[in-house]
Amino acid sequence: MFDAIVIGSGMSGSMAAKELCERGLKTLVIERGRKLEHGASYTDWMQPWDLPNAGMVAEEVLARDYKVQGKQYNMNTATQQYWVKDNEHPYTTPEDRPFAWIRGYHLGGRSIMWGRQSYRLSPMDFEANARDGHGSDWPIRYEDLASWYSHVEKFIGVSGSVEGLPQLPDGEFLPPFELNDGEKLFKAAVEAKFPGRKVIPGRVANLSKAQPHHEELGRNSCQVRNFCDRGCSYGAYHSALSSALPAAQRTGNLTIVTDAIVHSIIHDPATRRATGVRVIDSNTKVGRTYEAKVIFCCASTIGTAQILLNSRSEDMPKGLANSSDMVGRHLMDHLFSLSVAGILPKGPETYYHGRRPTGMYIPRYRNVGSTDEFLRGYGFQGAASRLGWRSAALGLPGIGADLKARTRKLGPWLVYISGFGEMLPNPENRVTLDPSETDQWGIPLVRIDCAHGENERKMTSQILEDAKAMIQAAGGMVVSAATGPAEPGLGIHEMGTACMGRDPGKSVLNAHNQAHDVANLFITDGAAMPSSGCQNPSLTYMALSARAADHAAKLLGEGKL
C-alpha cells in the first residue's frame, strides 16, 4: 500500500506528487499514457529542414487521425507525437454543440505542450461567483492562495514585470522578456488613448535567468529558440518532466506507472473512504488495483469527471463524491481565437534580434471599477513583428543579387492581439457518460454538452470592438479580424466539473480541494475551479495542488485520514 496515489502526471498531478513526496509520503503516480524521457523524447533538436513535409501534417492524416487535435494551433510534424489520435480515443457531443477536447496522453501530459503563460487570479476573481450569483462561491479567497502562488512561482520560475494592478496581482518574478519596439509603440499609444488599460510583457514560465535551485534540477536559462512546444532539452521552461517529477524523484518516495488507464476509484461504504484505484493496462488490457491512504485525482477536467462518474457503487449510485449531482457540471473554457491584426505603416525604423517565448499582455480592464453590459471580463495576448524577407521573397520570382537585396528590405510592423474572455459557470454545460458506447478498454465514453451563452456573445462583440480600436489608436490599419470565438475546448483551458464550494449540496470539494463526501479524496486539476477568470489557469492549478498536498500530509500525520 502507498501513502498516496496521484492520478495523472501533468501540470497538477506532478506538482501534487512533488509536494507529497517532499513531505515524506510514499507516492504512486498513475499515468494512462506512454513514458516520455526528458530530453531524449523531444524534437527540439529538429531544424526546419529536418521536419517532414516542412512541418505540415498531411491532410489525409489529419482527416483520419486528428479531426479534433488538428484544429489547435501547434499541430505539426514536430509535435504530432504528443497529441492523441481522435479515432483511438473517441467521445461524443450533440451535433449542434461541438466541443474540442484537446489531449496528450503521455508522462507529463500537456505540461510538455502548454503555452506557459502564468498569471494569478485576483481578489475579484475569487469573489465573482458570490457577487453576481453564477456558480458556486469559492470557499477560499485570494489571501488563502497568495503564499502558495509565491511558493509555486519560485519553484517553477516565472518571468514578468511588477505592475501593481489589483486585477492582476504581481508575483515572484524573474526578469521579464522585454517588449520589442513595435510593442512599445503599441503600449504607449494604448495607454495614452485608454486610461486604465496596460500593455505589459507576458508572464511566462521560462527561465529568463535560472536560479541555483533550478540548476540543481538540471534546468538552464532560456535559449530563446522558440521551440517550446516540442519539449525543451535545456529544461528552460517548467514542465512535469523537467521540473516537478525530478524534484519528487530525488526524495526517493516516488513510483511512476505508465500505460495504466484508470477505470475507477474504489470506495468503502463502511469507512466512507477511498481505498484504491482500479486500472487497465493500455496494451494488455489486464486489470489491477493499487491501494493508498489518500488519493489525488488530477486526470484533467474532463478525465476527472469521467473517473468519478464511472466510480459508481451501491452507496454512491450517481458516481463517487457526487451526492450534490455537481460532478460533470459547470464545464467552462475561455473564449478563444478572438484575434485582430493590423499593419503599423508608421512603426519605428528598427529591427529586433532573436526570439522570445512570450509577447505582450493586456490585463483585464472591463468591470473593474465600472459596470459593462456583460459580467466578468477579458484580457488580450499578442505580439508585434516586423515583416521582412518572407513577404519580399517567398513565392515571388527572382534569383541572385536582386533576390538577396529584396530580402534585406524591411517591411512594416504587424501587430496582433487575441482576446481571452471568461465563460460563466453554467450547470447545463456538462460532462456525462454515454449510456451505451464504450472505448476499447470497456470504459463508457465521455459525452460533452457545452456551448457559449448570451453573456459570452455580448463579451465577444466588445472584445473585437476593443481590439480594433486599440490597433487603430497605434496608427494601425486592421487587416484581419475574427468574427466569433472558436468552439469551446480550443482554448485548452477546460475547467469546472468538480468544483470547490462552501455548500456540500451545491459543490464537490471543500476549501482544501477535499471531497465533501470522501475525506481522503482530493481533486486539484481544472475540475476544481468554481470560476475561470480570464487568465491562463495553470498557475492556479499548481498553487491549489501544492496547498492541498500540504493539507493532506498534515491530516495523515495527525491520523485523521
Residue 86, domain CATH:
3.50.50.60
pLDDT in tens, 264-295: 999 999 999 999 999 999 999 999 999 999 99
Domain annotation covers residue 374:
no
pLDDT recorded at residue 362: 98
pLDDT in tens, 25-78: 999 999 999 999 999 999 999 988 999 998 999 999 999 999 999 999 899 999
Residue with cell 449540496: 505
Q: What angle do CA 201, 203, 206 make, to 5 degrees?
A: 115
Query: What confidence tier does 389 reach under pLDDT thresholds 50, 70, 90?
Result: low
pLDDT recorded at residue 392: 63
Domain count, the chain: 1
pLDDT recorded at residue 411: 86
Q: What is the mean pLDDT of residues 131-141?
A: 97
Q: What angle do CA 465, 133, 485 make, to 5 degrees?
A: 30
Where would I find the beta strands (DSSP E) of 104-156? none
Domain annotation covers residue 182:
no
Q: What is the mean pLDDT of residues 184-194?
A: 98
pLDDT recorded at residue 181: 97
Domain annotation covers residue 12:
yes
Q: What is the mean pLDDT of residues 92-112?
A: 97
Q: Is the pLDDT of residue 9 over 70?
A: yes
**Beta-sheet pairing, 378-386 with 413-421:** antiparallel
Query: What confidence tier does 196 reach under pLDDT thresholds 50, 70, 90?
Result: very high
CB burial class (10 A; 0-12, 13-18, 19+) of residue 371?
exposed
Domain annotation covers residue 131:
yes
pLDDT recorded at residue 128: 98
Residues with Cβ within 8 Å of residue 78, at least 6 apart in sequence: 43, 46, 51, 55, 227, 229, 230
Q: Is the pLDDT of residue 395 over 80?
A: no
Phi-psi category of residue 13: left, alpha or beta, with phi > 0 → left and psi -120 to 50 → alpha: alpha
Q: Is the pLDDT of residue 371 over 90?
A: no
Q: Is the pLDDT of residue 95 over 90?
A: yes
3-state secondary structure of 462: helix
Q: What would the DSSP string read from start to end of 266-283?
A: EEETTTTEEEEEEEEETT
pLDDT in tens, 217-263: 999 999 999 999 999 999 999 999 999 999 999 999 999 999 999 99
Written in H, E and C, the secondary structure of 503-558 is CCCCCCECCCCEECCCCCEEECCHHHCCCCCCCCCHHHHHHHHHHHHHHHHHHHHC
Q: What would the DSSP string read from start to end of 75-101?
A: -STTTGGGSPPTTTS--B--TTS----
What letter does residue 495 receive in the DSSP assignment? B
More confident residue, 45 or 370: 45
Q: Is the pLDDT of residue 390 over 80?
A: no
Q: Is the pLDDT of residue 394 over 80?
A: no
Dig out the grid coordinates for 8 from the structure. 495523472
Using the CB atoms, write b or e for 337-353: b if 16+ within 10 Å: bbbbbbbbeebeeeeee
pLDDT recorded at residue 77: 96
Tell me the average pLDDT of the chain. 96
Domain annotation covers residue 220:
yes
Q: Can you tell me the distance from the alpha carbon of 309 to that of 331, in angstroms, rounded to the nearest whole number?
A: 15
Domain annotation covers residue 462:
no
pLDDT recorded at residue 393: 67
Q: What is the mean pLDDT of residues 478-505?
A: 98
* CB-based contact 19:545 (threshold 8 Å): yes
pLDDT recorded at residue 400: 86
pLDDT in tens, 161-187: 999 999 999 999 999 999 999 999 999
Query: What confidence tier does 408 reach under pLDDT thresholds 50, 70, 90?
Result: confident
* CB-based contact 425:499 (threshold 8 Å): yes
Domain annotation covers residue 48:
yes
Q: Can you tell me the distance from the alpha carbon of 114 to that of 294, in angstroms, rounded to the nearest whole number?
A: 28
| Closest to 500 measured CA to CA, from 517, 488, 512 | 512
Q: How far is CA 269 from CA 124, 266, 507, in A?
A: 39, 10, 21
For the chain, report the end-to-end CA distance as a whole number of angstroms. Answer: 14
* CB-based contact 27:15 (threshold 8 Å): no
More confident residue, 394 or 351: 351
Residues with Cβ within 8 Å of residue 137, at least 6 apart in sequence: 129, 130, 501, 502, 503, 530
> Residue type at 538?
S
Which range of residues forms the domain containing residue 112? Answer: 2-159+203-333+423-451+488-558
Q: Can you tell me the distance from the alpha carbon of 91 to that of 98, in angstroms, rounded to the nearest whole number?
A: 11
pLDDT recorded at residue 277: 98
pLDDT recorded at residue 506: 97
Domain annotation covers residue 370:
no
Phi, psi of 517 (to 5 degrees): -90, -20
Q: What would the DSSP string read from start to end of 239-260?
A: -IIIIIHHHHHTTT-EEEE-SE
Q: What is the mean pLDDT of residues 532-561?
A: 98
Q: Is the pLDDT of residue 157 over 90?
A: yes
Q: Can you tell me the distance from the alpha carbon of 122 to that of 540, in angstroms, rounded to the nearest whole number?
A: 11
